[in-house]
C-alpha cells in the first residue's frame, strides 16, 4: 500500500530531524545541522535495503518513489525560506553569495541537459 511508503518517509524524516538537532547541539549551534540530508539518505538506503531483500511490495515501492520525489523540492523550498531574513540582515556578503550560487546553478542547467538522453 502507498500509505506504507508515506510511513517510511515520515520515519526517515523524524530520524533525520533528531540526528540533525543532535548534531546542532553537539556543535553548539541553535539549529538543525543537516537533518533533511540525513533523512533523504536514510530513505534512499532504506528503499535500497527493502528492494534488495524483497521486503517491499511494488505498490509500496511506488509510494516511496512518489513521496521521495516530492520530498526533495518541498523540503528544499521550506528550508530555503528559513534564513532569508538572517541573510538579508547579514549584509552584502550573504546576499552576493546567494546571487552567485543561484546564477551558477542556472548556468549549469544547459550543461547538465546535454548529458541526458532525449
- Name, in order, each residue with C-beta under 8 angstroms of 11's C-beta and a sequence gap of 6 or more: none
* Overall average pLDDT of the 63-75 stretch: 73
Q: Would you state the pLDDT for residue 79?
A: 64
* Overall average pLDDT of the 28-43 stretch: 83
Residue 29 DSSP code:
-
Q: What is the pLDDT of residues 48-65, one digit of tens each?
A: 888 889 888 877 777 777
Whole-model pTM over 0.85: no
Q: Would you state the pLDDT for residue 80?
A: 63
Q: What is the pLDDT of residues 90-105, one digit of tens each?
A: 677 777 877 898 899 8
DSSP 24-42: HHHTT-SS-SSHHHHHHHH
Amino acid at each position: 500500500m502507498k500509505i506504507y511508503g508515506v510511513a517510511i518517509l515520515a520515519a526517515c524524516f523524524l530520524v533525520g530531524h533528531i540526528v540533525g538537532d543532535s548534531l546542532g547541539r553537539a556543535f553548539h549551534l541553535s539549529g538543525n545541522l543537516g537533518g533533511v540530508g540525513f533523512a533523504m539518505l536514510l530513505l534512499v538506503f532504506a528503499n535500497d535495503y527493502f528492494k534488495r531483500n524483497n521486503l517491499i511490495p511494488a505498490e509500496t515501492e511506488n509510494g516511496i518513489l512518489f513521496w521521495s520525489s516530492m520530498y526533495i523540492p518541498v523540503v528544499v523550498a521550506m528550508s530555503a525560506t528559513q534564513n532569508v531574513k538572517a541573510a538579508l540582515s547579514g549584509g552584502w556578503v550573504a546576499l552576493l553569495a546567494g546571487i552567485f550560487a543561484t546564477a551558477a546553478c542556472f548556468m549549469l542547467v544547459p550543461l547538465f541537459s546535454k548529458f541526458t538522453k532525449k
